[in-house]
Amino acid sequence: MIKNLVINFAISSNYITHHLKHLVINLINFKLLNNINNYSNIKFLTVNVDSFLISIWLAFIFLYIFKYFLSTLKYNQIPNKVQLLFELIIVFVLENVKNIIGKKDKYIFSLAFTVFTWILIMNLMSLIPIDIIPILLNFFINIYSFRVVATSDINVTSSLAFSSLLYVFIYKIFRNGFYNLIYNFLFHPFNNKYCIILNIILEFINICSKFLSLSLRLFGNMYSGEIIFILLSFIIPWWLQWLIIFPWFMLHIFISFLQSFIFMILVIIYSV
C-alpha cells in the first residue's frame, strides 16, 4: 500500500511539474529547451516561446475581429452579435474611464480598452483542457511542454505592467509637461527643498509598488488557478469530476473577468 502511494505521488508530482513548465528557447544558440527537468540550468537569455506565441496570436485574432466590427458598423442597420459584444465592452470601459478621470479621455480609453480585452482573452485560454495542446504537439512535432495561459507567466504580466506604466508616464508628460512632472517628482509629497531626497525615495517606492501590484496580482491569481485545477484532478476521482465542471467553468470566467477589470481600473487610477 505504501509503495502504491509513493508511486501515485511520484506520478502526480511529475504530471503537475510537467504542466508548469514552459517551452523555452535559448537566445544564444536559438535552440528549443524542450522537456526541461531542471530549470536552474537555464541561462538568462531565454524566452518562453509558448507565452510569446499565445499572446501575439490572441492579439492578432482580436485585432482581426475588431477590424471586422469596425467594417460592419457602418453598413449593418441591425447590429449583429459581434457588434453588440464590442459595443458593450466599449461602453463599459468608457464609463469606467469617465467615472475615474472625470471626463472622456481617448488616450487612457485606448490603453484601458487594450489591456482589458487582451488580458481577458489570455485569461480565458485557461478554459481549454490542459492536456489537449501538449498531447497534440507531442504527437505531431515532439514538443512536450507548452502552456496556453500566458497570464500565468510572470514575464508576460511584468511586461504588461511595465508597458502600461510607461504609457501612463508618457501620457502625463504630454498632459502636464515635462517640467511639471519633474517638479511633482521632486516636491511631492513634501513641498520643501530639504526633503527632495526623501521625496525621490518615496516616489521610487511608489512606482515599484504600482509595478508589483499590477504584475504580481494578475500572475498570482492565474498561476494559482492552474495549480488548483491540476490538484483537483487528482483529489477528486475521475467519475466525480463531472460534478465540478460547470461550477469551475463559471468561477474561472468570473475570475478571468475580475482580474482583467482590476488591472484596467488600476491603470486608469495610476493615470490620474
- Bridge partners, 24 (sequence order): 33, 48
Show the CA angle centred on residue 28, arms to residues 27 and 29, nearest 5°. Answer: 100
Q: Which amino acid is at 122?
A: M
End-to-end alpha carbon distance in the chain: 62
Residue 258, all three cell numbers: 475580475
Annotated active-site residue 147? The verdict is: no
Using DSSP's 3-state secondary structure scheme, residue 13 falls into helix
Catalytic residue among 26, 155, 159, 213: 213
264 within 8 A of 96, measured Cβ to Cβ? yes
257 within 8 A of 230, measured Cβ to Cβ? no
C-alpha to C-alpha distances, 210 to 50, 86, 113, nearest whole angstrom: 27, 29, 19
Catalytic residue among 145, 221, 256, 260: 221
The CB-side HSE value for 157 (13 A sphere, CA atoms) comes to: 24
- Which is nearest to 121 in space by CA: 66, 61, 211? 61
Catalytic residue among 12, 158, 217, 233: 217
Annotated active-site residue 221? The verdict is: yes
Residue 26 is classified by DSSP as E
Task: Count the neighbouring beta carbons within 10 Å of the beta carbon of residue 5.
Answer: 9
- 2 vs 4: CA distance, rounded Å: 5
Annotated active-site residue 213? The verdict is: yes
Catalytic residues: 213, 217, 221
